[in-house]
């Protein structure tokens, strides 16, 4: 009966384990969103409300004759087209709608056609039942005999009913990535826009958290999280008019300087907009995105990440075989699993000692490394280590043999001088060029064929496209679309040839923390700023959409190379253990006590690695709340193991009051034994080795001592391992 009523009303219900999305798609009309939220809402009630005359919202508003209905001046339309005769108006009507199954849900396709022009729009919604997540995207087809122009082509729209709605967005700058800003939604336009071209997570992130019940809470309240899965320029727009009951959220490729001319019989497919609803607060949405990302978006999301030492802050470009061999020996002795050689290893005619030359000339500098990369791989293998290497294959320098041979391979404004990046000499290779695609594939292919034992690549990207163009393009406004099509084609080819290779994306630090990039990468470098105190904030914010397995978090030297801050080795270790653990320093510079602490940390991290990298996150006390301390934890899916983190962030010696932090995610009916990890010379906590019920830990928590081993209070920390008894 209920199914018949839904069909009578032209409604399609897509369900996940705990959420429901209802789309109305009546023939001759336009798609409407009837409901999105908890599955606890009875389907009968949704159908009854709709049948009683309640007005659903437009699922994909286009620039048409109804734009004025949104309220005068409201730019909340997702698609704007210039027809072949110059007309702007669309008049779409649904031709058909259908649902089909896939292995973990359903896909709804609603096909609409313009009543006069040969333009077809297919709106698609895909459910991920186990992960409580939906993706939406649009396919626009020109069925005519002349080009049409897409002036705006967003991926999806969500109407948000007005109320006490707060939005959290994320951004920052180099060395201070992934900062969070939260504010209530009010009348007007709130726009998050990226126009860097290539590093779309440096100054802003293509994600947002929408809290429907007032100021956001971590583990309670209704929240919608949304992420645009795209590597280039984007818009996240919130549009609110005073005389309308809804906020409009729209997301998609930024239309500025990106008008797309769609050829006859051509189809343009937008990137997916992923979104998830939870009534368990911000952390609830995060858990959904983490599960979905690990299974469907992240390269090798089901494989543990190795503990690595990266050479950059240890030696920078001053690499040599004896120095690297000693670093690898020290790292092996400490229990490491992988050594990564960073920048400085290459250069023929131009030597990569300063960082303003030689990009593109991927030949070993034999003066630094007489036995080449194979010699280092073999040396690592004898020490029980895997080996990785840094490259920046999308770039070249004006001082390089590559640029001298192929000056036409770089992006540049037509009829103007190139726009230079890092060091005033760096240029971006033109991914729209098939020869460039072949070259970049060849960089990886050449390294792997030279030594198949290569296990890991750090793939960097340190420039912005900006106002650059490509002489290959008929329309310069196609640069974003064609550049990323070439990127995808090249990375697909690399992944097909080397499916087991681990690849990190690094882009002036965290510039490519994006679900639009991660299908080809295993992890990202959160920031070039390795200061542990700063990393607490950045990794906290990154965790809203990205699981710990994606976040490269390294123990670094003090004074920190970016901030000059001095923190204890224990604190630096604990912060790094909350992500994918690694090291970014010279091991020989550590004293015996520090080495022993690192050795212990690597042993303990290997124990907790499955929980941290694959577990469910529960953020408990935000560093943004008062700046005094932060706490989070990971729980296994079976709730038999958990790892709890506590970090003190201030250095106010007069402040000695820290409340116990109630935990989350445990089984209230099980008992857990508490073990403190990497304690060093600190005294054991009073609860060390004790057993507590999950109910007690989640209702009361444990009080953390705030004095660390050196007898100081600032930047103290604790990591607790909880195991069910």
Three-state DSSP class for 143?
Answer: coil
Percent pLDDT > 90 in the chain is 86
Which range among 421-425, 615-619, 650-654, 678-682 shows the weakest confidence by mean pLDDT?
Answer: 650-654
For residues 496 and 577, what is the distance between their CA atoms, to the nearest angstrom?
Answer: 32
| Predicted local distance difference test score (pLDDT) of residue 713 | 56
Residue 58 has pLDDT above 70, yes or no: yes
Residue 712 has pLDDT above 60, yes or no: no
Cα of 612 vs its chain's centroid, Å: 17
Residue appearing with tokens 């996240």 = 236
Q: Which residues pair with 120 in a beta bridge?
A: 113, 141
| Predicted local distance difference test score (pLDDT) of residue 7 | 56
| Predicted local distance difference test score (pLDDT) of residue 655 | 58
Write the CB contacts of 578 (distance below 8 Å, at least 6 apart in sequence).
Answer: 539, 548, 553, 612, 632, 645
Collect contacts of 400-406 with beta carbons under 8 A, ≥24 apart: 400/350, 400/357, 400/358, 400/359, 400/360, 400/361, 401/348, 401/349, 401/350, 401/360, 401/361, 402/359, 402/360, 402/361, 403/360, 403/427, 406/435
Which range among 142-146, 197-201, 660-664, 710-714 shows the weakest confidence by mean pLDDT?
Answer: 710-714
pLDDT, tens only, 69-90: 544 456 789 999 999 999 998 9
Mean pLDDT of 253-263: 97
For residue 586, count CB atoms less than 10 angstroms from its CB and return exposed for 0-12, middle for 13-18, buried for 19 or more. middle
Mean pLDDT of 684-698: 95
| Predicted local distance difference test score (pLDDT) of residue 575 | 98
Rounded to the nearest 10 degrees, the angle between the axes of helix 321-334 and helix 592-614 is 70
Homologous superfamily of the 2-297 domain (CATH): alpha-galactosidase from lactobacil brevis (2.70.98.60)
Residues in the chain: 725
Mean pLDDT of 525-548: 97
pLDDT, tens only, 90-99: 999 999 999 9
Residue 332 has pLDDT above 60, yes or no: yes
For residues 151 and 79, what is the distance between their CA atoms, to the nearest angstrom?
Answer: 7
Residue 2 has pLDDT above 50, yes or no: no
DSSP 364: B
pLDDT, tens only, 474-513: 999 999 999 999 999 999 999 999 999 999 999 999 999 9
Residue 208 has pLDDT above 80, yes or no: yes
Under 8 Å between Cβ of 263 and 318: no
| Predicted local distance difference test score (pLDDT) of residue 166 | 98
For residues 369 and 553, what is the distance between their CA atoms, to the nearest angstrom?
Answer: 28
**Triad 620, 556, 344: Cα angle to 5°:** 135
Residue 395 has pLDDT above 60, yes or no: yes
Question: Across the chain, what does the average pLDDT equal?
Answer: 94
Under 8 Å between Cβ of 274 and 227: yes
Residue 576 has pLDDT above 90, yes or no: yes
DSSP 231: S
CA distances from 344 to 11, 358, 460 (A): 60, 10, 13
CA-nearest of 692, 647, 690 to 666 is 692
Indicate the pLDDT class of residue 5, thresholds 50, 70 and 90.
Answer: very low
pLDDT, tens only, 616-640: 999 999 999 988 899 999 999 999 9
For residues 666 and 672, what is the distance between their CA atoms, to the nearest angstrom?
Answer: 9
Residue appearing with tokens 């096909």 = 111
Judge if 2-297 and 620-724 fold alike in CATH terms.
Answer: no
Mean pLDDT of 521-542: 97
**β-pairing, 386-391 with 454-459?**
parallel
Mean pLDDT of 333-345: 98
For residues 700 and 570, what is the distance between their CA atoms, to the nearest angstrom?
Answer: 26
pLDDT, tens only, 151-163: 999 999 999 999 9
Which range among 183-197, 372-386, 501-515, 694-708 shows the weakest confidence by mean pLDDT?
Answer: 694-708
For residues 44 and 24, what is the distance between their CA atoms, to the nearest angstrom?
Answer: 15
| Predicted local distance difference test score (pLDDT) of residue 294 | 98
| Predicted local distance difference test score (pLDDT) of residue 71 | 47
Q: Is the dihedral of CA 464, 260, 120, 240 positive or negative?
A: positive
Which range among 43-52, 251-260, 450-459 shows the weakest confidence by mean pLDDT?
Answer: 43-52
- Three-state secondary structure of 480-526: HHHHHHHHHHHHHHHHHHCCCCEEEECECCECCCCCCCHHHCCEEEC
Fold observed for domain 620-724: Immunoglobulin-like (2.60.40)
- Three-state secondary structure of 654-690: CCCCCCCECCCCCCCCCEEEEEECCCCCCCCCCCCCC
Write the CB contacts of 453 (distance below 8 Å, at least 6 apart in sequence).
Answer: 377, 378, 381, 386, 387
| Predicted local distance difference test score (pLDDT) of residue 4 | 45
Mean pLDDT of 234-240: 96
Under 8 Å between Cβ of 376 and 364: no
| Predicted local distance difference test score (pLDDT) of residue 378 | 97
Residue 585 has pLDDT above 60, yes or no: yes
**Ramachandran area for residue 160 (φ above 0: left; ψ -120 to 50: alpha; else beta):** beta
Indicate the pLDDT class of residue 710, thresholds 50, 70 and 90.
Answer: low
Domain spans, the chain: 2-297, 620-724
Mean pLDDT of 104-133: 98
**Separate counts of helices (H) and strands (E) for the chain:** 14, 36
CA distances from 171 to 238, 276, 466 (A): 17, 21, 18
Q: Enter the pTM of the model.
A: 0.96
Indicate the pLDDT class of residue 612, thresholds 50, 70 and 90.
Answer: very high
Which range among 65-79, 102-116, 223-237 shows the weakest confidence by mean pLDDT?
Answer: 65-79
Indicate the pLDDT class of residue 168, thresholds 50, 70 and 90.
Answer: very high
Residue appearing with tokens 């849900």 = 105
């Amino acid at each position: 009966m209920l199914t018949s009523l839904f069909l009578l009303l032209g409604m399609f219900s897509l369900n996940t384990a705990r959420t429901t999305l209802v789309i109305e798609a009546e023939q001759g009309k336009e798609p409407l969103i009837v409901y999105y939220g908890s599955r606890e809402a009875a389907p009968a009630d949704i159908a009854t409300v709709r049948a009683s005359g309640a007005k659903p919202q437009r699922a994909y508003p286009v620039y048409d004759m109804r734009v004025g209905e949104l309220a005068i001046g409201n730019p909340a339309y997702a698609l704007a087209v210039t027809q072949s005769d110059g007309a702007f108006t669309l008049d779409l009507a649904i031709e058909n709608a259908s649902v089909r199954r896939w292995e973990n849900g359903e896909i709804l396709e609603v096909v609409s056609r313009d009543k006069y022009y040969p333009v077809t729009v297919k709106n698609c919604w895909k459910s991920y039942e186990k992960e409580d997540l939906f993706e939406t995207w649009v396919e626009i087809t020109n069925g005519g005999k002349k080009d049409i122009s897409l002036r705006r082509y967003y991926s999806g729209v969500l109407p948000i009913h007005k109320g006490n709605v707060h939005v959290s967005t994320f951004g920052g700058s180099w060395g201070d990535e992934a900062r969070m800003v939260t504010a209530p939604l009010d009348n007007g336009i709130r726009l998050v826009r990226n126009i860097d071209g290539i590093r779309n997570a440096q100054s802003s992130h293509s994600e947002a958290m929408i809290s429907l019940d007032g100021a956001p809470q971590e583990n309670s309240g209704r929240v919608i999280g949304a992420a645009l899965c795209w590597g280039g320029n984007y818009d996240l727009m919130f549009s609110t008019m005073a005389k309308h009951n809804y906020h409009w959220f729209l997301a998609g490729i930024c239309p500025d300087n990106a008008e797309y001319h769609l050829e006859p019989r051509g189809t343009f497919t937008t990137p997916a907009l992923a979104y998830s609803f939870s009534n368990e607060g911000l952390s609830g949405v995060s858990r959904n995105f983490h599960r979905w990302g690990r299974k469907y978006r992240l390269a090798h999301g089901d494989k543990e990440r190795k503990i690595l030492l990266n050479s950059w802050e240890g030696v920078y470009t001053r690499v040599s075989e004896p120095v690297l061999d000693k670093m690898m020996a020290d790292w092996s002795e400490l229990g490491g699993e992988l050594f990564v050689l960073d920048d400085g290893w290459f250069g023929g005619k131009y030597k990569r000692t300063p960082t303003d030359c030689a990009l593109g000339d991927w030949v070993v500098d034999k003066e630094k490394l007489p036995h080449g990369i194979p010699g280092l791989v073999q040396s690592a293998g004898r020490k029980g280590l895997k080996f990785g290497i840094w490259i920046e294959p999308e770039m070249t320098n004006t001082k390089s043999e590559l640029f001298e041979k192929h000056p036409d391979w770089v992006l540049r404004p037509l009829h103007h001088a190139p726009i230079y990046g890092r060091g005033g000499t760096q240029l971006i290779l033109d991914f729209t060029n098939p020869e460039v695609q072949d070259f970049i594939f060849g960089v990886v292919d050449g390294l792997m064929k030279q030594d198949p034992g290569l296990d890991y690549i750090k793939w960097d990207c340190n420039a912005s496209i900006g106002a650059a163009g490509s002489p290959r393009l008929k329309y310069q406004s196609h640069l974003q679309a064609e550049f990323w099509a070439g990127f995808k084609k090249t990375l697909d080819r690399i992944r097909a040839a080397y499916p087991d290779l681990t690849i990190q994306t690094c882009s002036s630090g965290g510039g490519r923390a994006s679900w639009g990039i991660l299908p080809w990468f295993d992890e990202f470098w959160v920031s070039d700023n390795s200061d542990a105190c700063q990393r607490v904030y950045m990794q906290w914010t990154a965790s809203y959409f990205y699981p710990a397995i994606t976040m490269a978090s390294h123990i670094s030297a003090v004074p920190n190379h970016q901030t000059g801050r001095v923190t204890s080795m224990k604190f630096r270790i604990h912060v790094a253990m909350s992500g994918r653990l690694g090291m970014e320093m010279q091991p020989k510079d550590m004293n015996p006590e520090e080495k022993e602490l690192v050795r212990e940390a690597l042993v303990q991290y290997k124990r907790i690695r499955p929980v941290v990298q694959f577990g469910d996150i529960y953020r408990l006390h935000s560093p943004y709340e008062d700046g005094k301390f932060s706490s989070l934890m990971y729980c296994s899916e079976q709730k038999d193991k958990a790892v709890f983190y506590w970090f003190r962030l201030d250095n106010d010696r007069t402040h000695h009051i820290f409340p116990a932090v109630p935990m989350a995610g445990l089984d209230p009916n099980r008992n857990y034994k508490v073990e403190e990890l990497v304690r060093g010379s600190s005294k054991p906590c009073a609860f060390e080795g004790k057993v507590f019920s999950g109910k007690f830990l989640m209702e009361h928590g444990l009080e953390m001592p705030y004095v660390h081993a050196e007898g100081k209070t600032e930047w103290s920390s604790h990591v607790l391992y909880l195991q069910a008894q």
